Amino acid sequence: MLQQTRVEAVISYYERFRKQYPDVESLAKADEETLLRLWEGLGYYSRVRNMKKCAQVLMERYNGTLPENKEEMMKLPGIGSYTAGAVSAIAYGLPEAAVDGNVLRVLARLFAIRDDIRDLKLKKELENTITDFYQKNRISDPEYISDLTQALMELGATVCLPSGRPLCEKCPFSSDCKACRESLTDVIPFRSRDRDRRIVDRTLFVIRHEDDFLLHRRPSEGLLAGMYEFIGIDRKLNREEALHHLKDMGIEAKELNALPPSRHVFTHLEWRMEAYEILVEELPEFDRSEYILTDRHQLQSLAVPSAFRTYLNHYGLRKGDKRK
């Protein structure tokens, strides 16, 4: 949940999630719709799907508990080196490394490493530095390992801040830190530019029949898999073109109103959306496995990605919103 999200923003999600799924067994049995809805707004939906898959494997093979071994943990769905390292070190006190973006920044500055922090080789080297440190100093006290792991994460999150703004005067490493001593904190860590993001222009159709909305269910694989969306195409259409397109779909618009444009940024993709509200008197026969005609009450229980937040808000379709 915390990936690219602040702790304060995640707390309410975490609490709701834990209430719905208090243990591994309940998560393994989770119904997909509810699972996605509880994740709505956090993005990266594959994480929550992997959590469910992971819970299922734990139920089938490990009696509902996590194996107490980093390598074994990394064989589970959705668990990579960082998560396995963090659970091993923090929960089980094992001498394993957990290097996330924050820890990477602290260590890069501490040793004045100028290499690109996006390079996985650097991450691996720093993981080895930590495990070597435990080994050479014969450190095996679980409490010490757990505390040190959390301390490094916390130091990165609250003191060794990014963008050249570290609070070195408050840092316990200040006398040893190379980047601090040599005034290199504004150039370390070095991060190469993000890969270019693909921009996709889209046109959305918010199709309304009386007080109901016609939504489309996205394919079960790929981006936002299995979630509901306002019908759309990956092209910018003016009013005329939009009306033509709707006609091709068998939809006769009684009224077409422009809605505010919006954009949504995914990791490697950006949607730039124009949208129209389409009022219809009749709807053609549609494939019910792909489309759903839903009233506002039912819509609130469907998993609709936050990419469509502008339009959900426009119609007051977020939970607890009483607007018509």
Interface residue list for ligand SF4 (CB under 6 A): 106, 109-110, 159-160, 166, 168, 171, 173-174, 177, 179-180, 185
Least separation in angstroms between residue 183's CB and ligand SF4 is 10
User: Residue for token digits 């049995």?
Assistant: 29
Handedness of CA 86, 80, 106, 182 (dihedral sign): positive
Q: Which CB sits closer to ligand SF4, 84 or 160?
A: 160
Q: Which CB sits closer to ligand SF4, 49 or 109?
A: 109
Least separation in angstroms between residue 5's CB and ligand SF4 is 23
Distances (CA, A) of 34 to 157, 226, 304: 32, 12, 11
User: Residue for token digits 């996709």?
Assistant: 200
Least separation in angstroms between residue 150's CB and ligand SF4 is 16
Q: Which CB sits closer to ligand SF4, 106 or 242?
A: 106
Least separation in angstroms between residue 226's CB and ligand SF4 is 42
Q: Which CB sits closer to ligand SF4, 4 or 183?
A: 183
Q: Which CB sits closer to ligand SF4, 94 or 130?
A: 130
Q: Which CB sits closer to ligand SF4, 152 or 307?
A: 152
Q: Which CB sits closer to ligand SF4, 173 or 266?
A: 173
In degrees, to the nearest 5, what angle opens at C-alpha 251 toward C-alphas 247 and 253? 90
Least separation in angstroms between residue 108's CB and ligand SF4 is 9
Q: What is the 3-state secondary structure (H, E, C) of 251-307?
A: CCCCEEEEEEEEEEECCCEEEEEEEEEEEECCCCCCCCCCEEEECHHHHCCCCCCHH
Least separation in angstroms between residue 120's CB and ligand SF4 is 22
Least separation in angstroms between residue 126's CB and ligand SF4 is 13
Across 151-253, the runs of DSSP E, i.e. the strands, are: 198-209, 212-217, 228-233
d(CA 176, CA 109): 10
User: Residue for token digits 């691996």?
Assistant: 124
Distances (CA, A) of 142 to 81, 148, 149: 19, 10, 11
